[in-house]
């Protein structure tokens, strides 16, 4: 036993300091680092201090009344159900409403029915098969629904319908509203896939703009009686609808005397209407057979950021492509292109390119082209083959453009940059089948899927 000595610690410390070297031994730090780098750490569960509390505090016993216990049980069920819904939703994500997305099914009208096929043209299946003339299908931005038009026979009143992407849940959105005489029925989905805007009327002389919920509620006209409004397109944020307008009641022979012809924007509730175009004939001649007639009408095209609206402008036979901003006081920019008659422009999903058509002098066919948004990189699609002067559509991934053969017997799918990517399963063309002269333009739409 060591005798107690109050000065022991002081004398021991002095002795250690006297005998200790001034500096640490050479190489000590390197040796420590080398040793510790290969030394296995003990897991936290093997250290009792990590999981055994130093002080155990007893938890008071709580007694719940039957009512409180029942409420807690209901709360637990709600929490579990919410977690399950979120988990299922994460397994089936929706694509972004604007911008690039993965390409899914292609829907089109054929012989008065709505048909879908895989992108390679296989697995064709009819979503509708009735005596009713069904046409102009368009997928919702989230890819879950298809809007289309239906009427009993040519010249009869038409109705706007919606169904699931698999053909289920078909329902009429417009009921018995009399749209008799409509020749160029079009519809446009809102970015959130909850509403549709559409225009109806007789050969553009008296077209009206409407908005309706996807479940058929809140059907209402948009705008007053001073303008004929056609070819709607929603802004990416859903706050505005762009459309082509002109003085209501004018006939084709009145063009180009109508000074009201242009591209406009308006809110879905009918407020804030204003013209954004500045050149004469902006939007194309609404009543001219070479552009605004029932077979070749097209909506203004929004850039994905909502800052620009693209449209054709000018006189018949000499249309150019123009871009304007929806803001008050904005300027209009004409895209510099060689001389020609350019129509039906559409921004690519990412806004970097523009697909459009050059109409032949006779107006009986067109050629599809693509140009960068700044006017550079102009090139033709499909080897410059003639196509029908119908609206064209981009694939959601921005790789392809849909057009139609001149005789409307096939959908033509062309690579936007001139060559197909490796592993592509996209068909160069898809047969439409029997053509039904139903008074509608042939239409196609490409389903958007999550990236």
Mean pLDDT of 274-279: 88
pLDDT for the residue numbered 18 = 56
pLDDT at 414: 92
DSSP assigned state of 285: -
Residue 174 has φ and ψ, to the nearest 5°, of -110, 0
* pLDDT score for 415: 93
Residues 6+ apart with CB under 8 A from 17: none
Instruction: Please check the confidence at residue 44 and state whether its pLDDT lies above 90.
Output: no
Strand partners, 354: 347, 371
pLDDT at 217: 94
Specify the range with the lowest mean pLDDT, choosing from 158-162, 277-281, 348-352, 366-370: 277-281
Is pLDDT of 255 > 80?
no
* 188-196 average pLDDT score: 97
Q: What is the band of 49 on the pLDDT scale with cuts at 50, 70, 90?
A: very low
Place of tokens 């908005």: 211
pLDDT of amino acid 412: 92
Judged by average pLDDT, the poorest of 124-133, 362-371, 437-446 is 437-446
> For 190-300, where are the E strands, in sequence order?
195-200, 208-213, 220-222, 227-234, 241-247, 262-266, 274-275
Q: Find, among 226, 224, 290, 301, the residue nearest to 258 by Cα.
A: 226
CA–CA distance from 151 to each of 134, 161, 205 (Å)?
7, 10, 21
Query: Does pLDDT of 47 surpass 50?
Result: no
> Which residues is 108 bridged to in the sheet?
115, 444
- Is pLDDT of 364 > 90? no
340 burial class (0-12, 13-18, 19+ CB within 10 angstroms)?
middle
Residue with tokens 């997928």: 139
| Pairwise pLDDT comparison (272 vs 421), residue with the higher score | 272
Phi and psi (nearest 5°) for 382?
60, 30
Between 2 and 428, where is the model more confident?
A: 428
What is the residue-wise DSSP string for 142-178? TSSEEEEEEESSTTS-EEEEEEETTS-S-EESSTT--
Average pLDDT over residues 49-73: 51
In the sheet that holds 186-189, the strands lie side by side as 186-189, 195-200, 208-213, 220-222
DSSP letter string, 325-341 = -SSTT--EEE----SS-
420: tokens are 């197909």
pTM: 0.76
- Percent share of the chain, pLDDT over 70: 66
Average pLDDT of the chain?
77
Spatial separation of the C-alpha atoms in residues 209 and 199, rounded to whole Å: 4
48 has a pLDDT exceeding 90: no
Helix and strand totals (H; E) in the chain:
4, 28
The region that residue 39 occupies, defined by phi over 0 for left and psi between -120 and 50 for alpha, beta otherwise, is beta
User: Is residue 293 pLDDT above 50, yes or no?
Assistant: no
Range 309-326 average pLDDT: 87
pLDDT-derived band at 451, boundaries 50, 70, 90: confident
Per-residue pLDDT, 444: 87
Mean pLDDT value of segment 195-202: 86
Lay out the sheet containing 400-404: strands in order across: 393-394, 400-404, 410-415, 429-431
Q: Which DSSP symbol is given to 349?
A: T
How does DSSP classify residue 227?
E
Higher pLDDT, 35 or 118: 118
178-187 in b/e form (b: 16+ CB < 10 A) is ebeebbbbbb
Note the pLDDT of residue 77.
53
Q: In what side-by-side order are the strands of the sheet with 379-380?
A: 342-347, 353-359, 366-372, 379-380
Reported confidence tier of residue 416, pLDDT bands at 50, 70, 90: very high
What local confidence, expressed as pLDDT, does residue 40 receive? 46
CB 220 within 8 Å of CB 211: yes
Give me the mean pLDDT over the 248-256 stretch.
59
The predicted pLDDT at position 184 comes to 54
Residue 154 is predicted with a pLDDT of 59
CA distance 191 to 177: 25
Task: Report whether 244 contacts 300 (CB < 8 A).
Answer: yes
Nearest to 300 by CA among 375, 239, 358, 354: 354
Q: Is the pLDDT of residue 402 over 90?
A: yes
More confident residue, 204 or 273: 273
Residue that wins the pLDDT comparison between 392 and 226: 392
105-449 under CATH 3.40.50.720, yes or no: no
Q: Which of 42-51, 212-221, 424-433 has the lowest mean pLDDT?
A: 42-51
pLDDT(50) > 50: no
State residue 230's pLDDT score. 85
pLDDT, one tens digit per residue, over 376-385 is 999 999 889 9
Which is higher by pLDDT, 307 or 389? 307
């Amino acid at each position: 036993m060591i005798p107690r000595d109050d000065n022991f610690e002081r004398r021991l410390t002095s002795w250690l300091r006297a005998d200790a070297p001034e500096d640490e031994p050479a190489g000590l730090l390197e040796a420590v680092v080398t040793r510790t780098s290969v030394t296995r750490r003990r897991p936290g569960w093997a250290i009792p201090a990590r999981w055994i509390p130093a002080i155990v505090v007893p938890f008071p016993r709580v007694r719940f009344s039957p009512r409180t216990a029942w409420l807690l049980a209901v709360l637990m069920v709600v929490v579990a159900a919410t977690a399950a819904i979120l988990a299922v939703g994460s397994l089936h994500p929706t694509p972004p409403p604007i911008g690039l997305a993965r390409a899914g099914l292609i829907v089109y009208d054929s012989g008065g029915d709505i048909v879908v096929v895989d992108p390679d043209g296989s697995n064709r299946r009819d979503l509708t098969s009735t005596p009713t003339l069904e046409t102009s299908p368009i997928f919702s931005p989230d890819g879950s629904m298809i809007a289309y038009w239906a009427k009993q026979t040519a010249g009869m009143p038409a109705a706007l319908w919606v169904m699931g992407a698999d053909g289920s849940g078909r329902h009429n959105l417009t009921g018995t509203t009399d749209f008799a005489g409509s020749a160029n029925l079009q519809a446009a989905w809102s970015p959130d896939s909850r509403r549709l805007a559409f225009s109806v009327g007789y050969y553009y002389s008296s077209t009206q703009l409407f908005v309706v919920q996807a479940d058929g509620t809140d059907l209402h006209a948009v705008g007053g009686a001073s303008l004929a409004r056609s070819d709607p397109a929603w802004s990416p944020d859903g706050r505005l609808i762009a459309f082509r307008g002109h003085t209501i009641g004018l006939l084709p022979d009145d063009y180009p005397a109508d000074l009201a012809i242009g591209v406009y924007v308006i809110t879905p509730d009918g407020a804030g209407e204003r013209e954004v175009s500045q050149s004469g004939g902006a939007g194309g001649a609404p009543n001219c057979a070479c552009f605004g007639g029932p077979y070749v009408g097209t909506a203004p095209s929004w850039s994905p950021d909502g800052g620009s609206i693209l449209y054709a402008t000018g006189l018949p036979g000499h249309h150019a492509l123009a871009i304007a901003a929806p803001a008050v006081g904005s300027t209009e920019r004409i895209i510099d292109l060689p001389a020609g008659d350019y129509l039906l422009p559409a921004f690519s999903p990412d806004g970097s390119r523009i697909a459009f058509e050059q109409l032949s002098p006779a107006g009986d066919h067109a050629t599809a082209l693509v140009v960068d948004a700044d006017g550079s990189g102009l090139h033709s699609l499909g080897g410059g083959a003639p196509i029908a002067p119908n609206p064209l559509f981009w694939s959601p991934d921005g790789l392809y453009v849909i057009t139609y053969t001149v005789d409307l017997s096939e959908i033509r799918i062309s690579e936007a940059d001139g060559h197909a990517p490796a592993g592509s399963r996209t068909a160069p063309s898809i047969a439409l089948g029997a053509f039904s002269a139903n008074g509608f333009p042939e239409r196609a739409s490409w389903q958007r899927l999550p990236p």
